[in-house]
Amino acid sequence: MAAINLEKYMTMTATYEARLNQDPDTGLFSYAPPVTIACFISGSRKYIRDTESGTMVSSQKYTTLTPVDIGDKIDSQVVKDVNSTADFTGIVQTYQAYTW
């Protein structure tokens, strides 16, 4: 069975900055130099819950083949949530990064 070529669906681009470390004095994070990644951008809504209540927020969803972690930046926005999709062998195929 042939593998699905997911690269052809990544028809848009975004600027990606990986979070590196946190300065112990200021508490600010440093980031790797920005790189352009292939992705697919769509709008989404997320239900956010805290200890007292919940709310619905609009978010931007970036689907990409590039590994993304919470705290990284995409298009100058901090990534707040990441979901991944794996194939039947357990290998992650895509990452869905959310910013809001």
What is this structure's pTM?
A: 0.84
pLDDT digit string, tens, across residues 10-60? 999 999 999 999 999 999 999 999 999 999 999 988 777 767 777 777 789
In a domain, residue 71? The reply is yes
In a domain, residue 85? The reply is yes
In a domain, residue 66? The reply is yes
Total structural domains within the chain: 1
**Whether pLDDT at 64 is above 70:** yes
Ramachandran assignment for 71, one of left (phi > 0), alpha (psi -120 to 50 degrees), beta (any other): left
Q: 79 lies in which domain range? A: 6-99
In a domain, residue 1? The reply is no
The values of phi and psi at residue 65, to 5°, are -90, -10
In a domain, residue 20? The reply is yes
Q: What is the DSSP string of 29-95?
A: EEEPPPEEEEEEEEEEEEEEE-SS-EEEEEEEEEEESS---TT-EETTEE--EEEEEE-TTS-EEEE
The values of phi and psi at residue 7, to 5°, are -60, -35
